[in-house]
A and B are shown apart, each in its own frame.
Chain A
Amino acid sequence: MEPDAIDFTRTAALGDPSTEQGRAALAEILRLYFENAATACADMRHAGSPDEVRRHAHRAKGASGVVGAVMMSRLFADLEARAAAGETIGADTYDDLEGRLAALRVAAGMQLGVDLN
């Protein structure tokens, strides 16, 4: 598995990517995931405090784990730890995060053979 891909071996119960029905189920939850993760990034970027960032990052980490977005889960976990330690996160971190999310969206769509936008 590529590091920035969805680990479908961990998400078999959410849908079997080899069947049309499974792909549809996976596409539905992944669209919801990418929509929410993008909102989380925007909310963190405009957050008023590191604690607000920490809470958004924690939620996004959990959701990433559920859909098998392993790398995103690690990135949100790192962000959560930095925010918990009081660090103010710079715009470049959010730029990077949003870029990775966009790339993962394309990669996951290709993995499933569906458009996730």
Chain B
Amino acid sequence: MTPASPMPPFTVLIADDHPVVRVGVRNILASAPEFLVIGECSDGEATLDAVKSLTPNLLILDLAMPKMSGIEVLRALRANAPAVCTLVLAATVDRRQTVEVLRLGARGILLKDVVADRLTTACREVLAGRYWLNDQTVTDIVQAMAEPATLQLSDPVATLTARQLEIVNAVVEGRSNKDIADKLSISEETVKRHLTMIFDKTGMSSRLELAMFAVKHGIGN
């Protein structure tokens, strides 16, 4: 009787702009014989090219990369490339981003601070056709996907909460964080946290850019 041939390993492409993350992921997967790392990329454009040329079984994709973000890569993959199972890596991720990457076809999200602990399990799960959602419960995600604000993810204004719109309005008025905190009766720390979320949601990177964005989108007085 001929012995059964071993299953070929799952081929993996690693895309992250930080060398420590790439080395870490590569070393972790090297200890699991069912995975074979066939390529590494450090920006979004190279990732897109590598997916097309290498056709990996699994893409491990960072969200924040130069040239093209992970979100843009997912969009392009959905439009142009053969289907590839994708596990997103992120330093931090909110519910809105989770919903967005799932809508764009990713099978899971793994936070970088649990990569060493959970990577191989997460890879196995998504390659088996299941979802991996870190510590967020399925109920959270289903609820978020049902919220009207998430229905138009291409419209960043629609993703801002009422409080965040108030803060954008205050930025347009030229108020400092302390002024905004006083006006809204919240702490400066809370204002900062809201601003971080607002910058993430709108893709703006400074108060001036945010003010121009607000004027363009008719936010504010």
Residues in chain A within 8 A of chain B (CB atoms): 10-15, 25, 28-29, 32-33, 36, 49-51, 54-55, 58-59, 61-68, 70, 73, 77, 80-82, 84-87
Q: Mark B109-127, 1 if CB is under 8 A from A, else 0.
A: 0011111110110000000
Which chain B residue has the least Cβ–Cβ distance from A62? B91
Majority SS of interface residues in chain A? Answer: helix
User: How far does the Cβ of A58 sit from chain B's closest Cβ, in whole Å?
Assistant: 6
* A10 touching B91 in the complex, CB below 8 Å, given contacts A36-B19, A63-B20, A65-B111: no
Q: Are A59 and B17 in contact (CB under 8 A)?
A: yes
B154 CB within 8 Å of chain A: no
- Check B193–A29 contact: CB distance below 8 A: no
Complex-state Cα separation, A85 to B102, whole angstroms:
28
Cα separation A67 to B20 with both chains bound (whole Å) = 8
Give me the interface of B with A, judged by CB distance under 8 Å: 17-21, 23-24, 27-28, 31, 62, 64, 89-92, 111-117, 119-120, 177, 191-193, 195-196, 199-200, 205-207
Closest 9 CB pairs of A and B: A65-B113, A51-B205, A62-B91, A85-B192, A63-B20, A65-B112, A84-B196, A62-B112, A11-B116
How long is the Cα–Cα vector from A11 to B120 in the complex, in angstroms?
Answer: 13
Q: Kindly report which residue of chain A lies nearest to residue B32, judged by CB atoms.
A: A13
20 of the cross-chain contacts (CB-CB < 8 Å) are: A10-B116, A10-B117, A12-B117, A13-B116, A28-B23, A32-B23, A58-B91, A59-B64, A62-B62, A63-B20, A65-B114, A66-B21, A66-B113, A66-B115, A66-B116, A67-B24, A77-B92, A84-B199, A85-B191, A85-B196
Residues of chain B lying within 8 A (CB to CB) of residue A11: 116
| B209 nearest CB neighbor, chain A only | A51
Q: Which B residues lie within 8 Å of A66 (CB)?
A: 20-21, 24, 112-113, 115-116
**Chain B residues, CB < 8 A from A81:** 192-193, 196
Residues of A within 8 A of B120 (CB): 13
Alpha-carbon distance between A66 and B26 when the two chains are bound, in angstroms: 12
Is A65 a contact partner of B192 (Cβ separation < 8 A)?
no
New contact pairs (17) apart from A14-B116, A62-B64, A65-B114, CB-CB < 8 Å: A10-B116, A12-B116, A14-B28, A28-B23, A29-B24, A33-B20, A36-B19, A58-B64, A61-B92, A62-B21, A62-B91, A62-B112, A67-B24, A84-B195, A84-B200, A85-B195, A87-B192
